[in-house]
Structure 1
């Protein structure tokens, strides 16, 4: 398991990101408590795996279109200046042209490994608003001068797929900025409810599945009075169940600051993810994938 640099946030912000209380993260206790917590979390993970494996929810997941990575693609060679990179990260765009106001309502998702699916498409204006994040200008900014329908490759829960995409022309760039136009499939209803009273906390975000699928990177939550996050994994034929917790809780006599930290954790797997669903043990739902520059399903 590999852990990347963390960032801090207030207790209030952490609560907004996770329904679990910080007490489960920054609490204090000894080895006996830790062993008991591990057993409880392992039991919950097995329960979640049994619920998902062979379920109608798992079957629906496997036939749907669920992006598992970024659904926007930069112009060939990337953005050339720091100002342009900042504008893209801040969703700061200016429209200096006309976008198509008509287009096909549906498009075909074609998986490289075989299979296809017809899904509803977002229009050029709607896709532009996703890129711009509702912002209408500012400095620095990227200038969009037009768009046309094309295609791009997207990482999904069923492997890489070629999907319809809006190709936005950027002032100063010879190749377009691509934005997937396909609206993701709705999430299936989980076959198991959320856990209450189970140690640890839900995972905040699925960052990426590595090329080849032999590891997953997630955003985990931990507190100021521990030695960082731990993400345990239970692999079955049909699911990858992840359980977030912390290691080495510190007993400081009750003087822990009420502060939480988000940290990226990479978890190695025994075999590639494939079409297995990556599930959070606490919520019983797929770990939310939230691409910063594109649409994602409702993970609530």
Structure 2
């Protein structure tokens, strides 16, 4: 077999490969771009470590461990399931109306109880406010109709494990099982022990704004992170400690030049080395806990 053509190719390819490794061939980035990216990543990681260190053993961590913070959706569909895709769509879009007025309540406090036996008293929201939290539209087309409400209870995932909480049970026309809405408000988020990162000092950090889900085994999170219209989307990295999970968001493929002023927040899945358990999820840019839901 004649190997000469292959040898010529290798001799030609080797210096090209070396030049690409130095200059960043393949993604359009120069060596200066790569050095800038590396410096930005180091700055982001440093900020994440500063946030984790500040929260370690702090009063904010103690307050977080004593609070009630849901990790599940507070409006819960009927246990029997939806009768049709149209009803499911109506619930998810908030196309829900009520038949007549809902009563007000004199109940102002309710008890959150965890499986560990720990309890916490929290304010109970009025059923009309609870209704408005999931009923946003009354447009034509598929809709659900609330015909009544009473106080009951439900279970929900929280940062301290599963808890039994007071819930408003809304009767739906045509359904035997109620639509449940958690009736107690979450605890106030603790004040971070460290301030927001200064402008221009965070290595291109973007805020991770919302936690939208956790996997059943606690080893992955789904979050919303911001980016603009002139980049290739968000990147979310994680720094884990025994007490916290610090998320630091950035963008990839940012391009210069004219760009529409818009803020996009797609969902991003983040893998963890250890189950989340009772650790607080923090945003590196703001140093605040990342809240669940909307």
TM range (shorter): 0.7 to 0.9
CA deviations on 1:79-100 (whole Å, 9 max, x unpaired) are: 2223322322232222114533
Q: Given the two structures, how large is their TM-score scaled by the length of structure 1?
A: 0.80
SS class of match (1:75): coil
Conserved in 2, the CA contact under 8 Å of 1:224 and 1:256?
Answer: no
Q: Tell which has more relative contact order, 1 or 2 (C-alpha 8 A, sep 6+).
A: 1
Q: 1:210 aligns with which of 194, 209, 215?
A: 215
- CA shift, 1:277, in A, is 0.8
Which residue of 29, 49, 53 corresponds with 1:50? 53
Q: Distance in 2 between matches of 1:250 and 1:103?
A: 54
Structure 2 SS opposite 1:172: coil
2:275 is aligned with 1:277: no
Quote the residue 1:190 is aligned against.
192
Instruction: Mark the CA change 1:112 to 1:194 in structure 2 (over 3 Å): closer, same or farther.
Output: same
Q: Is 1:246 aligned to 2:251, yes or no?
A: yes
Among candidates 202, 205, 209, match of residue 200 of structure 1: 205
Q: Distance in 2 between matches of 1:222 and 1:123?
A: 37
Q: How many residues align?
A: 261
Gaps of 5+ in 1: 1-27, 292-300
1:105 aligned onto 2:108: yes
What stretches of structure 2 of length at least 5 have no aligned partner? 1-29
The answer to whether the Cα contact below 8 Å between 2:206 and 2:251 also exists between their aligned partners in 1 is no
Matched, 1:160 2:152: no
| CA distance, structure 1, for counterparts of residue 155 and residue 191 of structure 2 | 27
Question: What is the TM-score of this pair, normalised by structure 2?
Answer: 0.81
1:114 offset after TM fit, Å? 3.5
| Partner Cα separation in structure 2 for residue 38 and residue 76 of structure 1 | 46
Does the Cα contact within 8 Å between 2:208 and 2:249 map onto a contact in 1? yes
Measured in 2, the distance between the counterparts of 1:130 and 1:263 equals: 22
8 Å contact kept, 1:94–1:137: no
Instruction: Tell me by how many angstroms 1:71 deviates.
Output: 0.7
Partner SS, residue 140 of structure 1: coil
Distance 1:115 1:161 in 2: 9
Shift of 1:176: 0.4
Paired residue secondary structure (2:227): strand
Query: Within the alignment, does 1:118 sit opposite 2:110 as a pair?
Result: no
More strand by share: 1
Partners of 1:225 and 1:116 lie apart in 2 by 48
The root-mean-square deviation of aligned C-alpha atoms, in Å, is 2.2
SS in 2 for 1:88: helix
Distance 2:90 2:53 in 1: 45
CA distance in 2, matches of 1:69, 1:87: 20
Query: Partners in 2 of 1:122 and 1:224 — Cα distance?
Result: 39
* Structure richer in helix, relative to its length: 2
How far apart, CA to CA, are the structure 2 residues paired with 1:101 and 1:76? 25
